[in-house]
Structure formats: structure tokens, C-alpha cells
Amino acid sequence: MSAQGWLDRLRAATSARGRLCVGIDPHPALLEQWGLPSNADGLEKFAEICVEAFVGEIAVVKPQVAFFEAYGSPGYAVLERTISVLRDAGTLVIADAKRGDIGSTMSAYAQSWLGADSSLSSDAVTVSPYLGFDSLNETIALAEAGGRGVFVLARTSNPEGASLQQAITTGRTVGQSIVDAGAAVNSNGSATVGLVVGATRDHGLDLSGFTGPILAPGLGAQGASVEDLAQIFDGSLKLLLPNSSRGVLRAGPSVGALQDAARTLRDEIEAALP
């Protein structure tokens, strides 16, 4: 698979099924709301309902790894099956793992989520650059070689992130330094590096030189609206992936209702964005 494969797949998927990225977040409160037990059986049923609702309708699906990981090895087994079924059906999968480490440890994380032979292998993974952007070099190289993507946390949607991400270093914010480093990697045209930039506030970033995809969490439960997107991400809309998780998932457990909620939000986004 070529380095260009990730960008080609992303463009094809979003052109056919819109830019919405829906999260699969089996939060204990949602399991309870859906009438499911807070165990591996409930987790599996939750994931199966989501897969049935989103395949063929939504371009990009983002499982929140932590909510699977909480159940230990049975949870990971459910996550493996979920990723496999989604990808086999042509749905792009971003593993929301937010891994970040150095040296051989980060290389092992990269193999887990981006390696072709891993049972967790996804189209892209979220990573943290806060051990230094260069700590991601091997992960980015693996993604590029395999035609996959890496979404780097730049300006996250949680309020606690501001004190670090908006701190000034070498004449720019820490978040801006992440944007600029990602833009430099993508100068070869691969778009291997994407950014995570929250849609819930003025991010304060100059994205004009960044050509990769942007994963924008915060729609719905965190307060951002579809109408906000065009202004917040002006000039970065073609590869923008607005993300909603609980805002869509609260429509479950009916497959039909969940599918309708995802379709409605997808169509609202496409109507609002050029």
C-alpha cells in the first residue's frame, strides 16, 4: 500500500459518504441507557449495533479505545472484531488511542495500531506529541510506508488543554508548533499527519499552511454546532472530519434510530460546509 493510499482512501470515502466521523464510545452510562450490562457481553452488543448502523452510511468511524480497554482482554477482543468488520466493509477506522512515548515503546504502540499484521490494525491512530514531536518519527514513518494516517493532538477540545497547548515557546504557541511540524512532514504530499483540533472554541491556530486532514471533536455533547465549523476551520474544510460520539449514540439502541441520527448529522454537515 503506497503512502498516497491514505489520502486517496480518505478522499474517496468522504466524497461518497460525507465528512462526519462518528465515535464508538461504549461509556458505562450509555451501556446503561441502552439497557446493556456493563461487561464484555454488553460491550459486544453495543459495538455490533454501531457497526450495523454506520457501515455503508458513514465514511469514518472512531472507536474510543479506553472504553474497550476497561474490560481487559475480552474488551480488546471486541475491539479487534469491531475494527476488522468495519475495515472489511470499507469503513475507515481511526483508533482513538492517544498513544505517546519514546523509543522502542512508541514503536511497539505504532505496530499495534498501524502494523499490517496486528489484529488492531487501523487506517489511522490518534497520538500525543507531548514527549516531543520527534518522538513520533518512527510512527509517522510506519504510517507513511503502510498508507495509513496519524492524527496528532494539537488543540484539544478539553478546557484543561489550554494551559499547555496555548503556552508560548520560541515565539509561537505549543499547539502552533505541532501544526507547523505536521505541515513539514506533509510537504511530500502524503497527508500522513493529521491534526486533532477541537471544534468547541477559537483554537487560535494558523492552519493556512497545513494540508492534511483535521479531526475536530466537540460536536453535540461538548457544545459545538454544525454552524460553527465553517468559521472555526475556514480554509481547512475539504479534509475536515467533524466528530460526534455521544451526540449520535444517545439515539440508540435502535439500529434504525442510530442510523437516522448519523445520517441527519452527516447531511447537516455537508449542507453547511463547501
Q: Which residues are catalytic?
A: 98
Q: How far apart are CA 248 and CA 243, in angstroms?
A: 10
Q: Which three cell numbers stand for residue 45?
A: 452488543
Q: Which residues are CB-neighbours of 18 under 8 A, at least 6 positions away?
A: 58, 59, 266, 267, 269, 270
Residues in the chain, total: 274
Nearest-angstrom CA–CA distance, 180 and 189: 15
| Torsion angles phi and psi, residue 13, rounded to 5 | -65, -45
d(CA 78, CA 119): 11
Amino acid at position 251, single letter? A
Q: In sequence order, what are the beta bridge partners of 79? A: none
Grid cell listed for 261: 441520527
Is residue 63 within 8 A of residue 83, CB to CB? The reply is yes
What are the cell numbers at 16? 461518497
Q: What angle do CA 205, 16, 58 make, to 5 degrees?
A: 75
